[in-house]
Amino acid sequence: MLPAALIIGVARSLSLVLTDGRVIDTILNGLATPLSNAPAAVAALLMIPFHAIIHVAVPSVSGQAVLTMPVLVPLSDLLGIPRDATVFAYQTGAGLTEMLTPTNGGLMAVLLAAGVPYGRWIRFAIVGVLLALMIGVAAMISVLSAAVGRVLLDPPDQRGAFERLIRFANWRYAPGTPAGSCRNHEHAV
């Protein structure tokens, strides 16, 4: 329990430094600019392997949420991806990796108690994980198409991510408010 609490604390402190130092806007611009010309489905589906890779280094699912969501939720706002699709990508990427990663202490303890070698477990579980991944990708596309109400393979409107980033920064760092505080919770980005 203590390692998970430490990971959450470190992740929260990183998030606080990125927000108060206004470094998060530079990161968001760097991520949003190349993805602004891609369809929304591509950007949303790229979040799944991103979360899977991060989950190997950060085995705590709550620590990973604290670390990645402050970056990916504003990114999804900039790209016009619904927030529930961002959370769904997190759950799919982290949840499926949870069944395979050797940094998962619970998985390794159960395998040890059952006497199942890790290599044998991987050969058994990879088929189910790939099947669940295909179902997750199909569900993500259906959620996006229902939420967005447009064909997801069309390029997004060409207003550009830079203009949306400027509006987001103006909303987020309004004059007279401390950095990172929100003036209202329902903004139009």
Rounded mean pLDDT, 154-182: 53
Say whether pLDDT at 186 is over 60.
no
List the alpha helices (DSSP H) in the chain. Answer: 2-20, 23-35, 40-57, 61-79, 83-98, 105-114, 118-148, 161-172
Asked if 76 and 86 touch (Cβ cutoff 8 Å), the reply is: yes
Residue 163: both structure tokens together: 């203009």
Considering just the CA atoms, what is the radius of gyration of the chain in Å? 19
How far apart (Å, rounded) are the C-alpha atoms in residues 55 and 45? 16
User: What is the CA angle 24-26-28, rounded to 5?
Assistant: 65
Band of residue 179 on the pLDDT scale cut at 50, 70, 90:
very low
pLDDT (0 to 100) of residue 183: 45
What is the value of pTM for the model shown?
Answer: 0.68
Name the band, by pLDDT with cuts 50, 70 and 90, for residue 189: very low
Question: Is pLDDT above 50 for 111?
Answer: yes
pLDDT at 127 (0 to 100): 94
pLDDT in tens, 30-40: 888 888 888 88
Alpha-carbon gap, residue 106 to 169, rounded angstroms: 41
- Pick 155 or 4 by higher pLDDT: 4
Nearest to 59 by CA among 112, 20, 138, 6: 6
| Structure confidence at residue 106 as a pLDDT band (50, 70, 90) | confident
pLDDT bracket for residue 164 (50, 70, 90): low
